[in-house]
Amino acid sequence: MRKAPTILHLDMDAFYASAEQASKPSLRGKAVVVGGLGPRGVVATASYEARVFGVHSAMPMGQARRLAPNAAYLVPRFGFYKAISEQVMGLLRELSPLVEPLSLDEAFVDLEAGGAAWDDASARLVGARLRGDIRAVTGLTGSVGLAASKMLAKIASEQAKPDGLVVIEPGTERALLGPLSVRTLPGVGPATGDHLRRAGIHTVDEIVEAGEDELVRLLGKAHGHGLYAMALARDERAVVAEREAKSVSVEDTYDVDIHDRVRVGLEVQRLADRCVRRLRGAGLSGRTIVLKVRRYDFSTLTRSETLRGPTDDPAVVREAALRLLEGVDSTGGVRLLGVGVTGLADFTQEDLFAQAAEAAGAAGEGVDHAVEQAADDVPAEERDVLVERRWVAGHDVRHAQYGHGWVQGSGLGRVTVRFETPDSEPGRVRTFLVDDPALESADPLPLVEVTGAPPHRL
Q: Which element (helix H / strand E) includes 221?
A: helix 221-231
CB 268 within 8 A of CB 325: yes
For residue 90, the tally of other CB atoms under 10 A from its CB is: 11
Task: Say if CB 35 and CB 434 are below 8 A apart.
Answer: no
DSSP bridge partners of 399:
403, 439
| CB 160 within 8 Å of CB 144 | yes
Residue 441: partners with Cβ closer than 8 Å, 6 or more residues away: 390, 395, 396, 397, 398
Measured CA distances, 351 to 118, 310, 348 (Å): 53, 10, 9
d(CA 244, CA 275): 17
Within 10 angstroms of residue 296's Cβ, the number of other Cβ atoms is 14
358 noted as active-site residue: no
What number of CA atoms fall less than 13 Å from residue 82's CA on the CB side?
A: 5
The CA distances from residue 244 to 100, 131, 240, 312, 367, in Å, are 11, 28, 10, 18, 31
Question: Which residues lie closer than 8 Å to 420 by C-beta, 6 or more apart?
Answer: 24, 25, 26, 404, 405, 406, 426, 427
Cis bond upstream, residue 162 (ω within 30)? yes
Chain centroid to CA 451: 31
Which of 20, 49, 100, 106 is catalytic? The answer is 106
Q: Is 365 helix (H, G, I), strand (E, B) or coil?
A: coil
Q: Which residues are catalytic?
A: 106
